[in-house]
Amino acid sequence: MSTTAEVHPVDAIPPARHLAAFGLQHVLAMYAGAVAVPLIVGGAMKLSPADLAYLITADLLVCGIATLIQCVGFRRFGVRLPIMQGCTFAAVSPMVLIGKTGGGLPAIYGAVIVAGLAIMLLAPVFGRLLRFFPPLVTGTVILIIGLSLLPVAGNWAAGGAGAKDFGEPRNLALAGFVLLVVLGVQRFGPAALARVAVLIGIAVGLAVAVPFGFTDFGGVADADWLGISTPFHFGAPEFKVSPIVSMLVVALVTMTETTGDLIAVGELTGRRVEGRPLADGLRADGLSTVLGGVFNTFPYTAYAQNVGLVGMTRVRSRWVVAAAGAILVLLGLLPKLGAVVAAIPAPVLGGAGLVMFGTVAASGLRTLARVDFQGTHDLTVVAVSVAIGMLPVGVPTVYAKFPDWFQTVMNSGISAGCLSAIVLNLLFPHLPEKADPASDGVAEPAVLPVGGGEQTVEQSREEAVQVVPAQDVQLGRAPVDLPEDPALAQHPEVVRGGGLGHRQVEL
């Protein structure tokens, strides 16, 4: 009698109508961020409106292709999780500097291609570093991702950074209305509607925004119906040392950010990201970045905005995000369609963003709930890492006097907080735990059998495996309390200290 294997929610394929609706939600969640990078870089370089429009359509096209590579995957490329890809903001400052003083767009694209190749080569190395991301680190990083995105939602809600009416009460009122619609659908709507609450909130918000004069569809009439990006549209790439070095620093930053995002999505979907899938995801980032340099756009990374949408809607299928990738490809080939999406007012996106990005932060707290903070230094690790991660978010110019390479790393709250959490986690657990006078009355822990030779030691190993979570064993931080027994010295398997102030058994 044959049985059908149960399909993991990540691999489940929803009906076509659900794919389209859920996929459109993901596109709307990341669209503003996706087009912001070419707008900023092109504006700083004073490109013509036609060239600026070309950058945007090229970006949307490669965003879609990169998302499909990451979600669907082929060979050793793609993590095969619901991950949206978009241009990284970590590269904006170096690219503007290169574009204005170091050779223009050809020099940018040459550096981007080299950075993409470097990411592909370094992917297996990063895949082996997963043991440095226990729940303490991953929870902290996910929390920082969510908190660092909230100012983005706040700017949208106020009308968009640089808008003439920024902070007007009517902008915040529209954002608040969208937020109430999303919450209302989630609270009172059926489960099917609750999963598209963000899409419903944006649609209702747009319907309200039109009669109140929030929207401007003038760009739709000016946009072309068809636009196809061709390789090296702005000239053959130039490979110069200084731009390449700057972009290699950006590559390390984006690999760190992507690692945090992949781990976050793995936690939300119930499919943990381990060494090989992580390397495959980073390798897909590298390939997408190379494609960006060839097709006139920029470095690509996983988009944290969409991590929150996965957690909020609880739709874990990677095929939903693959549908979003297909929509982005369509928008890249049909500029007029992209202009319609671009006309959605920023406050509408802001109201939805508050829910999505807050969900990311809440997911980090849920991961940290698995950490035992009692009698350890873990609280210090979280506190300092969050503080360092939020510093450039709260004070954007705090590192303005530092070298460019330092700013590239530390101006990203995600990379700064992630690096801090990794370093502090390695430093503090190896310090001895302070003696607790109140612990005298605690019952004696179970005694590890000794004196029984190899068989006894093997039994103790098996007992430890049964009570220790697999992920903690993999990370080398599985605490097993042991008594103060001199006979333990006969067994080299037993090591003192190490980790969280507990004695540990190497398994």
Cα distance between residue 117 and residue 239, in whole Å: 13
* Strands, E assignment, 258-410: 300-302
Whether 307 and 145 have beta carbons less than 8 Å apart is answered as: yes
Dist. CA 13–CA 1, nearest whole Å: 26
Q: Where are the domains of the chain?
A: 16-427, 445-505
CA distance 406 to 88: 17
Angle 285-291-297 (CA atoms, 0-180°, nearest 5)?
A: 100
Q: Provide the 8-state DSSP code for 13.
A: -
Q: What is the pLDDT of residues 59-70, one digit of tens each?
A: 889 999 999 998
Decide the pairing of beta strands 85-87 and 300-302. Answer: antiparallel
DSSP-assigned states of every residue in 14-55: --HHHHHHHHHHHHHHHHHHHHHHHHHHHHHTT--HHHHHHH
Q: What backbone torsions phi and psi does residue 88 show, to the nearest 5 degrees?
A: -80, 140
DSSP string, 430-473: GSPPPP-GGGGGSPPPPPPP-SSHHHHHHHHHHHHHHHS-HHHH
As given in the structure block, the two tokens for residue 415 are 């990379």
Q: How many CB atoms lie within 10 A of CB 469?
A: 11
Who's near 202: CB < 8 A, 6+ residues apart? 28, 178, 344, 348, 349, 352
Total number of residues shown for the chain: 507
**Contact between 82 and 321 (Cβ < 8 Å):** yes
How confident is the model over 320-350, as pLDDT tens digits?
A: 889 989 988 988 887 776 666 667 788 887 8
Per-residue model confidence as pLDDT tens for the chain (507 residues):
444 567 787 888 888 878 888 888 788 777 766 776 776 677 667 777 677 778 888 888 999 999 999 888 888 888 888 888 888 776 776 787 777 776 788 888 898 999 999 999 988 887 777 677 777 887 887 788 778 778 878 888 888 777 787 888 888 998 999 899 888 888 887 766 776 777 788 888 888 888 887 777 766 666 677 777 788 888 888 888 777 877 887 787 778 778 878 888 887 788 877 778 888 889 999 999 999 889 888 888 888 767 767 777 777 888 888 998 998 898 888 777 666 666 778 888 788 878 877 877 887 787 788 787 776 788 888 999 999 988 888 888 888 888 877 776 787 777 788 788 888 888 886 444 444 444 444 444 443 333 444 443 344 334 433 444 444 434 444 444 444 444 444 444 444 333 333 333 333
CA 355, CA 150: separation in Å to the nearest integer?
Answer: 9
**Which residue reads 């294997």 in tokens?**
5
Taking CA atoms, 91 is separated from 176, 218, 406, in Å, by 32, 31, 13
CA gap 434, 180 in Å, rounded: 49
